[in-house]
Structure 1
Amino acid sequence: MATKLGRCVQQRRSFVNAKVKWVGDSYLDEAVEREKNLKQVLSLKDRIISSPSKSLPLSSLSALKPLINLPITAAAFCKKYRRVFATFHPSPRLPLRIRLTPQALTLHTEEEAIHLSPLHRKATVQRLAKFLMLTRAQCLPLNLIDRFKLDLGLPHDYITSLIPDFPEYFQVTEINDRFTGQKMLALELASWLNSLAVSELERREVNIDGSRVHIRYSMNFPKGYDLQKRVKDWVDQWQNLPYISPYENAFHLGHSSDQAEKWAVAVLHELLWLLVSKKTETENVLCLGDYLGFGIRFKKALVHHPGIFYMSHKIRTQTVVLREAYHKAFLIEKHPLMGMRHRYIYLMSKSERLKSRNYVHGETKKPESNQSL
Structure 2
Amino acid sequence: MTAKVVKISSLVNKLNLLDDLSLRRAWYKQSSSLWWSQNRLMTSSKRVQDRSKNKRIRPLEIAAEKWKIFSKMKFLMEILRKEPEMVIPVRSLDQYRKQINLPKPHKMSDFIRKSPKLFELCKDKNGLLWCGMTEEAEDLLEEEERLLEEHSDKAAEYVTRCLMMSVDKRLPLAKIAHFRRDFGLPLDFRTTWVHKYPELFRVVKCKEDPELEYLELVTWNPKWAITELEKKVLGVTEAGPDHTPEMLSLPFPLKFPPEYKKVYRYGGKIEHFQKRAYLSPYADARELKAGSLEFDKRAIAVMHELLSFTLEKRLVTDHLTHYRREFVMPQKLMRLLLKHFGIFYVSERGKRFSVFLTEGYEDSELIEKRPLVLWREKVLSLSGYRGRKKKIQSFSDLSELSDMENKDPLEDDSESVNTSIQFEQAETIESLEDASFADDDEMEVGEVCSAYKDTNAS
TM-score (norm 1): 0.80
Deviations 1:10-64 (A, max 9, x none): 47xxxxxxxxx83211111121112223223213322322345333343432333
Pairwise CA distance, 1:326: 0.9
Report the Cα distance in structure 2 between the residues aligned to 1:345 and 1:250, rounded to whole angstroms: 41
| Residue 152 (structure 2) pairs with residue 121 (structure 1) | yes
What residue number does 2:365 align with? 330
Instruction: Check whether the contact 1:88–1:97 (CA below 8 A) recurs between aligned residues.
Output: yes
Matched, 1:108 2:141: yes
Aligned partner letter, 2:224: L
Equivalent in 227, 235, 239 of residue 199 of structure 1: 227
- 1:252 matched to 2:287? The reply is yes
Match of 1:45 among 51, 59, 77: 77
Pairing partner for 1:31 from 50, 53, 63? 63
What is the aligned partner in structure 1 of residue 211 from structure 2?
A: 183
Question: What secondary structure is seen at the aligned counterpart in 1 of 2:380?
Answer: helix
Correspondences of 1:331-346 after superposition (within 5 Å) = 331-346=366-381
Structure 2, unaligned runs of 5 or more? 1-42, 396-458
Structure-2 separation of matches of 1:125 and 1:301: 29
Q: Distance in 2 between matches of 1:231 and 1:63?
A: 50
Letter of the aligned partner of 1:296 in structure 2? Q
Distance 2:200 2:89 in 1: 38
Task: Provide the C-alpha distance between the structure 2 equivalents of 1:253 and 1:219, rounded to a whole number of angstroms.
Answer: 25
Q: Evaluate the alpha carbon distance shift between residue 317 and residue 237 of structure 1 in structure 2; reply closer, same or farther with a 3 A threshold.
A: same
More strand by share: 1
Distance across 1 between alignment mates of 2:127 and 2:216: 45
User: Which of the numbers 219, 224, 244 marks the counterpart of 2:259?
Assistant: 224
Q: Secondary structure at the match of 2:48?
A: coil
Give the distance between the partners of 1:226 and 1:370, measured in 2 at CA: 60
CA distance in 1, matches of 2:217, 2:273: 33
Residue of structure 1 in register with 2:32 after alignment: none
Q: Which residue of 2 aligns with 1:301?
A: 336
1:194 Cα offset (Å): 2.1
- Which residue in the other structure is 1:17 paired with? none
Deviation readout 1:240-280 (Å, 9 max, x if unpaired): 11132111222422212111111000000000000011001
Alignment-derived partner of residue 54 in structure 2: 22
Inter-partner Cα distance in structure 2 for 1:33 and 1:370: 35
Contact 2:167 2:328 in 1 (8 A): no
Shift of 1:76: 5.1
Contact 2:166 2:326 in 1 (8 A): no
Greater mean deviation of Cα atoms: 46-55 or 96-105: 46-55
Q: Is the 8 A contact 1:81 1:348 kept in 2?
A: yes
C-alpha separation in 1, matches of 2:100 and 2:328: 27
The answer as to whether partners of 1:83 and 1:347 remain within 8 angstroms in 2 is yes
Compute the displacement of 1:200 (Å).
Answer: 0.4
- Counterparts of residues 63-102 of structure 1 (less than 5 Å): 63-66=95-98, 68=99, 70-72=101-103, 77-88=111-122, 92=125, 96-102=129-135
Q: Give 1:130's aligned amino acid.
A: R
- Aligned match of 2:201: 170
Q: Provide the rounded CA distance (Å) in 1 between the counterparts of 2:330 and 2:152.
A: 33
User: Offset of 1:301 from its aligned partner?
Assistant: 2.2
For the residues of structure 2 that align with 1:316 and 1:173, how far apart are their CA atoms? 34
Residue 94 of structure 1, CA deviation: 10
TM superposition shift of 1:293: 4.8
Supply the AA of the counterpart residue of 1:344: V
The aligned residue for residue 6 of structure 1 is 47
**Residue 230 of structure 1: how far off its partner (Å):** 6.2
Taking structure 2 as the reference length, the TM-score comes to: 0.66
Alignment correspondent of 2:450: none
Question: Which structure's residues are more often helix, by fraction?
Answer: 2
Instruction: For residue 233 of structure 1, report the CA deviation from its aligned partner.
Output: 1.6
Counterpart CA distance in 2 for 1:339 and 1:166 is 27
Summarize the Cα distance change of 1:259–1:227 in structure 2 as closer, same or farther, 3 Å threshold: farther
Where in structure 1 are there 5+ consecutive unaligned residues?
Answer: 12-20, 359-364
AA aligned opposite 2:115: Y
Task: Tell me the CA shift for residue 325 of structure 1.
Answer: 0.8
**Residue 283 in 1 paired to residue 318 in 2?**
yes
